Amino acid sequence: MAKFNFVAIFVIFILNSYHHSCSEEYLWQPLLNISDDLFAKAILPHYIDLNHDIIDNHNISQECRTDINRALIAFHQRKTWSFKLFNSWARSLPSGLMTGTFTDYGDYDQCLSIDHTDIVSKYCFLDLALPMPTPMPDHHNIVKNFPVIPLPNETNRPDLVSNGAIFHDLASVSSFFYHIFIRMGICIPNSCTDMDIHNVIKNNHLGETGLEFHLSTCTIKSTEKWTPNLPQKIALITIIILSAITIWAAIYDRLVMKKSDSISETVLLWFSPIKNAAKLVSTKTSKHDDLACVHGIRFLTLVWIIIGHTLEWNPMNLFRHSFIMKSRLSSLSHQPLFKAHYSVDTFFYLSGLLTSYVTFKYTQNDYRKFRYIPYTFLRYLRLTPQLIAFMLLLSLLPPLYDGPLWSTYMNIVIDKCSITWWHNLLYVQNIIDVQNICALHTWYLAADMQLHYMSVILIGMLLRYPRRGMLVTKCVILVCICISALTVFIKKHPPGGVVTIKNDFLDEFGRPSEFLKFFYQPWNHANVFFIGFIFGAKLHERSDWRQMVTMKTSTKYLCWLLAFSGYLFCIYSTSPWLYGRPYDPFWSAILYPLNRTIWALVLTLIIWLCITNNGTFIGSILSWKVFRPLSRMTYSVYLTHVLVFYVALGSRRNLIDMRMTAIFSLLTSSIVISYLFGFIFTVLVESPLIHFLDYLKNCWLINQPIMNSEKTTTKNDNNDNETNEKKFNLPEFDMNVKEKQLILNSESNV
């Protein structure tokens, strides 16, 4: 009986399996029997007739027509490679066109994954610009609709008037069409040239729509072995040598317990990632750290810069539903995010403040201890090695990643750097050939270096003739304010950054505008730099601020209200121009330098309130110990955050959602990844250089004996020195080891 039951169960199982097998075959049967016409309608692009527009078109090269015909034959034979090729095309016009989605990438990875012996695939973009009645006007505002978009009327097409809401809707957002275009990804054989694609679009029904066709850079599946060029070879050799030294230093630091004070061992330990990382993340504070709030200001400023670059440097075509920008960019509540150019002025202010404060600290107000050439040379060494390392890393990016936009952006960046890399080493990239600047954000380094060259003269004057030096510094501020105001008035520049006017920053070809070139000049930021410079000198002059200033609670909050009011004025003073109001040269000439001067004064008030123990909870936040390690990474993060941006932008396969949660996620990831990469760059590259600079400072500046010739002074010089001592109220004294180390650590963070 048991045997019979087993046989019965086995038979039922076999029959059930056969039933399922037949069912599965039946489910697949309609797909296997699909007709060629239905299959072609589902997969082949509708906006190009491959037979009529390409194969039968004698304006197309024979090689291109042959390969397309071969792909079509293989497609009807259900060949995988041909299915991949045609299925990688964008589907007609991008979905969501009426809400501002103008890009359909197709499938970049599927296109370049085709493996065929005779045909090599190529991924390209079709850029179709909507025709506009006139070229883009100067200071074109995307919030203000274009006034002369021709709409259908009753005389030519009355049926389009009654059902023509599409034209009215497009006219209401026509201001976007100078900055945005229809972009569709296509996948074609490599034998089809750019001229072939142009002839296809020109002669088919897409050309009849009046859309202006442009072909962006195509990406070909690489079949050759990568061969590094000269910059890449230098970068690879540098990375190998640095990695070997770093590993050796880490092993030595970890295993050798008893360490000597020999020069070779000291230099080796400069590269130890263990010590460098421990020192970097340390939150220990010194009782002499009067400027603890600067760490918080510096960190928040850099975060502001990363946010600004992430929002501003992404083209409109990368966003889904981009018409939402019209309300977002003009929203008053969002203006603080878009005013990131003030963050650069904050860096200029802090640079000026720390320059004077630290310099006067190690010279002890004795001009004989200040040496112009070592000061300038050490400043050059402080910035340049990291800049060189950054440019070498930049040269390695092209072969490391790929994406629909990768070759487009990398070709632009690498081509510019191959021409103007030496401008960066001389720090003249903000003045000479700005359109081809290597890494756009390095303009700040050039302007900062140029202002430091100016400050050398003023430091010497302040040390030798304090009153005259202070007067000259104030005159420099006034002269630079006048130069900025006159330039804005004569060239009719805007009163500042107006985020709804895109061509104030980049022209229609993506090149720096005249206003941006003007913004890069050092004298436009000299007033901010030297206001910080004067404040740093005053801080050193009166080192007993904490004991001197006691405020009533009402006075304290009144000062903070004044600082907040100044901040609001700088952020919102250009708001009337957000909605299309024409620029007034007179008001622009007043507001442009005024905003930056007020910004510097607001920073002065905030730092002064913090160091005098009147910072309330804001001062406590800015002086939070956690900000100290983040502040130490500022230079490395500023340099390398664009590498993160280039990778994220060029390798992106999908569009950016305009929802606030998606934007918040984008900004958060940009900040976190930038700091993670900046941490690695600081530990491996910047920290050893800082150790080397500290060694040079100790040898050249602090322990350098005063030459006999410098001790000989005239009677007038003695009188000036007496004035100097009275003004700064500091007796002469010899620095001990702790004070030397304090100065070295302070200046390393400049």
Which pLDDT score, from 0 to 100, does residue 151 have? 53
608-640 pLDDT tens trace = 999 888 888 999 999 999 999 999 999 999 999
Q: What is the mean pLDDT of residues 347-365?
A: 90
Same domain, 197 and 298: no
At 26, is the pLDDT very low, low, confident or very high (cuts 50, 70, 90)? Answer: low
Residue 10 has pLDDT above 50, yes or no: no
> Quick check: is 98 in a domain?
yes
> Quick check: is 361 in a domain?
yes
472-507 pLDDT tens trace = 999 999 999 999 999 999 999 999 888 888 777 776
Looking from the CA of 338 toward its CB, the CA atoms found within 13 Å total: 22
Residue 330 has pLDDT above 60, yes or no: yes
At 50, is the pLDDT very low, low, confident or very high (cuts 50, 70, 90)? Answer: confident
Same domain, 560 and 679: yes
> Quick check: is 270 in a domain?
no
Same domain, 189 and 318: no
CA end-to-end distance (rounded Å), the chain: 93
Same domain, 313 and 190: no
Alpha-carbon distance 279 to 687, whole Å?
9
Which pLDDT score, from 0 to 100, does residue 212 have? 78
198, 220, 242: which is the final residue of a domain? 220
Alpha-carbon distance 81 to 29, whole Å?
23
Alpha-carbon distance 99 to 655, whole Å?
14
> Quick check: is 430 in a domain?
yes
Most confident residue range from 40-49, 198-207, 550-559, 719-728: 550-559
Contact yes or no for 568/313 (Cβ under 8 A): no
> Quick check: is 271 in a domain?
no
Number of domains in the chain: 2
Which pLDDT score, from 0 to 100, does residue 459 have? 92
Which residues are CB-neighbours of 24 under 8 A, at least 6 positions away?
none
Same domain, 56 and 190: yes
Alpha-carbon distance 441 to 637, whole Å?
12
At 586, is the pLDDT very low, low, confident or very high (cuts 50, 70, 90)? Answer: very high
124-136 pLDDT tens trace = 988 888 877 777 7
CB atoms closer than 10 angstroms to residue 633: 25
Same domain, 358 and 441: yes
Which pLDDT score, from 0 to 100, does residue 32 have? 67
194, 220, 246: which is the final residue of a domain? 220
CB atoms closer than 10 angstroms to residue 359: 25
Which amino acid is residue 27, in one-letter code?
L
- Which residues form the domain of 82? 36-142+179-220
> Quick check: is 469 in a domain?
yes
Alpha-carbon distance 252 to 265, whole Å?
9
Same domain, 616 and 731: yes
686-744 pLDDT tens trace = 999 999 988 887 776 655 555 444 443 434 444 444 333 333 333 333 344 344 443 33
Which pLDDT score, from 0 to 100, does residue 159 have? 55
Mean pLDDT of the chain: 82
